[in-house]
């Protein structure tokens, strides 16, 4: 017997959405059973079966037989009574659209979760489909969409912001993105607001590992393990620093990442939409590492206090502003990259005569003068420089006056 239009439609839909055909029919049967129980005003539960060949629908009322269980009070045996109405197809058609849409949406989310749940941290290329004030929908491939959230975190503290603040997207624009989360549709954790209408995959343009994945694509030495990325510090959309080390003694890790005439790092910068990227060489000596991290500023010497995880950096007077960077950005990124508290001082404060080259790791106690820009020289653990004015005759403000003794 020829397959019915209903079965044809279900098979085509299952194939298009990559959903198991029998699972789709079973879910439709269960949903229609609830609908018919209400429509026919049945006293007992209903059961619906759909013939897999003809698509014909049968409705049965599950009438209990015998006595209920003495302990539970529930019936264990039932007799199926055929209550299929004459207009069963019309009633099914009226309810099937919403039922199938819900089943397809849920099954599709489950299928996407199973495919992408182990791909968190992978780099993907997507196309912008549409944008809203709160998120942008990205097409990863046919039938699979991802969400790039950029919520106002003050109004929505439980949401995310994965878009650099200086980026805005247009329709059909191609982007490099990092998968940071895949929502489990069956998870018992609290659901995201409007999750049923939002893609399961969450992608990011701000995560530091986005830079790592871009370098792995552009630099074969990183992909092969000859060059290792030790640390990444990033202010998305503005500037990043990446520390690299070589596992081969004769291989220059910085040169490998920069490439001939800067070709490799330029491709990474293009993928980040012109975010500035500084590639610096990692060193096991913290003094050398901190000095490298403050590039492009030139450093005279670095004094390391290992006990307090504190680094005092002496720079030429004309390099002070470059070492600190605009609004403290260079110093802030260097501190995040190295994990050291960094205090930057100009050489005019006696930096040249503080210690000999052999004693660079010693903590120095010496009278200091005021920084030439008049601001407090304190830089916190995140690399943020204090914006208060220094006290007269001091390098620090009143809040950080106790740093004079360090």
Instruction: Output the CA angle 274-382-232, nearest 5 degrees.
Output: 45
Residue 345, classed as helix, strand or coil, is strand
pLDDT at 27: 80
Task: Find the Cα–Cα–Cα–Cα dihedral 392, 394, 400, 404, rounded to 10°.
Answer: -160
Task: Give me the mean pLDDT over the 207-211 stretch.
Answer: 95
| Nearest of 39, 54, 70 to residue 3 by alpha carbon | 54
What is the DSSP track for 155-220? T-TTS-B-S-TT----TT-EEEEEEEEE--TT--SPPPTTGGGS-SEEEESS-THHHHHHHHHH-H
Beta bridge partners of 243: 231, 280
Which is higher by pLDDT, 173 or 8? 173
Options 3.60.20.10, 3.30.1160.10, 3.30.300.20, 3.40.50.150; which CATH number does 286-406 get? 3.30.300.20
3-state secondary structure of 124: strand
For the ranges 3-17, 22-36, 43-57, 105-119, the lowest mean pLDDT is seen at 3-17
Q: What is the pLDDT of residue 289?
A: 96
Over residues 187-202, mean pLDDT:
69
How many whole angstroms separate alpha carbon 184 and alpha carbon 372? 56
Domain with CATH 3.30.1480.10 in the chain: 5-67+74-113
DSSP per-residue codes, 261-300: GGHHHHHHHHHTTS-EEEEEE--SSHHHHHHHHTTTS--S
313 neighbors 287 (Cβ within 8 angstroms)? no
Question: Given this model, what pLDDT does residue 393 score?
Answer: 66
**What is 209-247 written as a DSSP string?**
HHHHHHHHHH-HHHHTTSEEEEEEEEETTTEEEEEEEES
Is pLDDT at 359 greater than 50 in this prediction? no
CA distance 246 to 251: 6
Give residue 103's pLDDT.
72
More confident residue, 247 or 393: 247
**Rounded mean pLDDT, 215-244:** 95
Mean pLDDT confidence for 56-60: 87
Record: fold of 120-185+195-204: OB fold (Dihydrolipoamide Acetyltransferase, E2P) (2.40.50)
Q: Which CATH number fits domain 208-282: 3.30.830.10, 3.30.300.20, 1.10.8.60, 3.40.605.10?
A: 3.30.300.20
Q: How far apart are the two ends of the chain, measured CA to CA in Å? A: 91
Q: How far apart are CA 315 and CA 334, in angstroms?
A: 14
- pLDDT tens readout for residues 231-287: 999 999 999 999 999 999 889 999 999 999 999 999 999 999 999 999 999 999 999
Classify 5-67+74-113 by CATH class: alpha beta
Percent with pLDDT over 70 in the chain: 82
Q: Where in the chain is the domain with CATH 3.30.300.20?
A: 208-282, 286-406
Q: How confident is the model at residue 372 (pLDDT cuts 50, 70, 90)?
A: very low
What is the rounded average pLDDT for all residues in the chain? Answer: 83
CATH 2.40.50.140 domain span(s) along the chain: 120-185+195-204
Could you give the CA distance from residue 139 to residue 126 in angstroms, rounded to a whole number? 5
Q: Answer yes or no: is pLDDT of 368 > 60.
A: no
Percent of the chain past pLDDT 90, that is, above it, reads: 47
On the question of pLDDT at 341 being above 70, the answer is yes
Q: Give dist(CA 50, CA 28) in Å, integer.
A: 9
- Mean per-residue pLDDT for 370-393? 63
Mean pLDDT of 201-229: 95
**pLDDT per residue over 40-53, tens digit each?**
888 888 998 988 88
């Amino acid at each position: 017997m020829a397959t019915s239009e209903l079965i044809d439609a279900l098979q085509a839909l299952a194939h298009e959405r990559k959903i198991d055909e029998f699972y789709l029919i079973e879910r439709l049967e269960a949903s229609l059973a609830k609908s018919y129980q209400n429509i026919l005003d049945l006293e007992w539960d209903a059961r619906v079966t759909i013939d897999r060949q003809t698509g014909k629908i049968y409705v049965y009322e599950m009438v209990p037989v015998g006595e209920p269980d003495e302990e539970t009070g529930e019936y264990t045996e039932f007799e199926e009574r055929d209550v299929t109405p004459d207009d069963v197809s019309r009633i099914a058609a009226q309810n099937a659209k919403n039922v199938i849409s819900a089943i397809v949406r849920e099954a599709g989310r489950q299928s996407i979760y199973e495919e992408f749940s182990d791909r968190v941290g992978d780099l993907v290329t997507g196309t912008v489909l549409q944008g809203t004030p709160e998120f942008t929908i990205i097409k990863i491939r046919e039938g699979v969409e991802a969400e790039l959230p950029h919520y106002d975190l003050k109004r929505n503290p439980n949401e995310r912001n994965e878009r650099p603040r200086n980026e805005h997207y247009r329709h059909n624009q191609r982007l490099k993105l990092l998968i940071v989360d895949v929502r489990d549709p069956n998870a018992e954790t609290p659901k995201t607001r409007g999750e049923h209408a939002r893609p399961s995959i969450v992608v990011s343009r701000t995560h530091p590992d986005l830079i790592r994945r871009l370098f792995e694509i552009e630099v074969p030495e990183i992909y092969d393990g000859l060059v290792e990325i030790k640390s990444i510090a990033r202010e998305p959309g503005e500037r990043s620093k990446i520390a690299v080390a070589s596992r081969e003694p004769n291989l220059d890790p910085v040169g490998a990442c920069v490439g001939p005439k800067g070709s490799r790092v330029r491709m990474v910068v293009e993928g980040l939409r012109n975010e500035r990227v500084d590639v610096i060489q990692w060193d096991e000596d913290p003094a050398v590492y901190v000095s490298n991290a403050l590039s492009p500023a030139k450093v005279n010497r670095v004094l390391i206090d290992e006990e307090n995880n504190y680094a005092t950096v002496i720079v030429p007077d004309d390099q002070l502003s470059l070492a600190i960077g605009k609004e403290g950005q260079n110093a802030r990124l260097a501190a995040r990259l190295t994990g050291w508290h960094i205090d930057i001082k100009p050489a005019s404060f006696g930096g040249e005569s503080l210690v000999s080259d052999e004693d660079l790791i010693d903590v120095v106690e010496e009278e200091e003068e005021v920084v030439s820009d008049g601001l407090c020289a304190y830089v916190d653990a995140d690399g943020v420089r204090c914006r208060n004015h220094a006290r007269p005759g001091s390098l620090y403000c009143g809040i950080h006056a106790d740093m004079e003794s360090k």
